[in-house]
Amino acid sequence: MLFTDDTVEALRAAVHLVNTAEDPDTLVTEDDVAAFLEAFPYTGRIDRDPAELTGLRALRPQLRSVLLASRDEMVARINAALREVTLDARLVRHDGADWHLHAVADDRPFAERILAETAMALIDVVRANEGSRISVCADETCGGVVLDLSRNRSRRYCSTTCTNRNAVAAYRSRQR
């Protein structure tokens, strides 16, 4: 096991959120926030209002920067994030998830909680020196972030769309 389940889930959620900023943007309405919540069920405060949507949209470039940072820069950005949030760390167990850390109180804004959880998850990435598992999609036209948790580090594309597009392109170039 590379990382604990809660770390993996936090990293997946952060990458998913960052990748909604790719063209076309898929975090535009409150329905889009609902879809994100369906994919990544969060406990705690959910406002379902424009301020929350704005907060999540504004969080995306910050998450992107920290996820794709070099090790030293990632440490600096994690530390900055930990200063930015109101830490209220405690161990909790809920909804079938075994003991894990909640770094901020459940009533803090959604974007702040995601930032804190991403920072906590990236602490594990830094400690394991596994930052190379987070990269930019190998598709030339895509800026999506790839989280590669595969055993043989084989994941190069951010989505099945990008994987398939490049498989087709490779096939065509072999035919020529």
Report the interface residues with Zn ion, using CB under 5 A: 137, 139, 142, 144, 158, 162
Nearer to Zn ion, 72 or 95 (CB): 95
Shortest distance in whole angstroms from residue 118 CB to Zn ion: 14
Shortest distance in whole angstroms from residue 148 CB to Zn ion: 13
Residue type, 41: P
Handedness of CA 74, 4, 61, 134 (dihedral sign): positive
* DSSP E strand stretches across the chain: 87-94, 97-104, 134-136, 145-147
Rounded to the nearest 10°, the torsion over CA 140, 68, 135, 147 is: -130
Nearer to Zn ion, 112 or 139 (CB): 139
Query: What does the alpha-carbon distance between residue 89 and residue 119 come to, in Å, rounded to a whole number?
Result: 13
Nearer to Zn ion, 120 or 137 (CB): 137
The secondary structure element, H or E, covering residue 15 is helix 5-19
Shortest distance in whole angstroms from residue 129 CB to Zn ion: 25
174-to-79, 82, 168, 169 alpha-carbon distances in Å: 48, 49, 10, 9
Nearer to Zn ion, 22 or 75 (CB): 22
Nearer to Zn ion, 4 or 62 (CB): 4
Shortest distance in whole angstroms from residue 117 CB to Zn ion: 8
Q: Cβ of 147: how many Cβ atoms within 10 Å? A: 19
Nearer to Zn ion, 109 or 144 (CB): 144
Shortest distance in whole angstroms from residue 154 CB to Zn ion: 15
Query: What does the alpha-carbon distance between residue 29 and residue 138 come to, in Å, rounded to a whole number?
Result: 29
Could you tell me if 156 and 137 are in contact, meaning their C-beta atoms sit under 8 angstroms apart?
Answer: yes
Shortest distance in whole angstroms from residue 146 CB to Zn ion: 7
